[in-house]
Amino acid sequence: MTYFEPKNLQNSDNHRISDITTEIIKNPGIHHNALRKIVVDEKKKMAKKTFDKLTKILRNNGTVGIISQNDNKIHYVISSSRNQSKINFDKQFEPYVKSIESKLPTLKKEYKLYPIQRKQSIMITRLSNIFSVLVGITFMKSIGNPSQEELSKHEIRLRKCIRSHMDIMIHDQDRNFVVPVVQNAILQGFAAT
């Protein structure tokens, strides 16, 4: 893997860039704050400002990419190797899918206890997140990512999550107040893009 080295970097910055890149490779799909915690707090390789400066340089020169979802910034290494890219993207989607699936049992138990506005808010947020990940998977499939089989597995799991969320809403006593608002919000979200 090669990367562009800006002229204004000192030799120590090259080592620090290498440290950041190594942690991203070791932890594909790592959240920005988790990466900062490892590099700055645990390993004490650099200060927070240096970390922020160097991650910005890595993004600007195309070595590292970021997938943003809501307030989350997930880092991944942009590789010249198509197979390496395939592996990274497969691992990129897995944390999102697991996170969505892991929250379902709690939602099933607690959903009926929430007031109507909270139910609407939860469903709009969660379904929007699921659709965002599905759009990412569709994008990866459309650019000919060689791991379409793996992406399709994630897609099937996400569709099951959508169905589970819909079942929770439909079988709730407040469905007449929640479902139309959620439908409208999701459809307006697609129309805005």
Q: Which residue has the tokens 């900062």?
A: 36
Residue 164 CA to residue 167 CA, distance in Å, equals 5
Question: What pLDDT sits at residue 189?
Answer: 75
In this prediction, residue 4 has a pLDDT band, given cuts at 50, 70 and 90, of very low
Q: What is the mean pLDDT of residues 179-189?
A: 88
Nearest to 88 by CA among 132, 136, 131: 136
Residue 115 CA to residue 139 CA, distance in Å, equals 36
Question: What pLDDT sits at residue 138?
Answer: 78
Do residues 140 and 151 make contact, with C-beta atoms less than 8 angstroms apart? Answer: yes
Residue 150 CA to residue 90 CA, distance in Å, equals 7
Domain coordinates in residue numbering, the chain: 11-77, 82-192
pLDDT: which is higher, 26 or 87? 26
pLDDT: which is higher, 121 or 18? 121
Q: Which residue has the tokens 């109507």?
A: 116
* Tens-place pLDDT, residues 73-103: 776 666 544 444 444 556 667 787 888 899 9
Q: Report which residue type is found at 3.
A: Y
Q: Report which residue type is found at 77.
A: V
Overall pTM > 0.85: no
Fold of 11-77: Arc Repressor Mutant, subunit A (1.10.10)
Query: H or E element: which one contains 53?
Result: helix 48-60
**Residue 65: strand pairing partners:** 76
Residue 110 has pLDDT above 90, yes or no: yes
Q: What is the mean pLDDT of residues 153-179?
A: 92
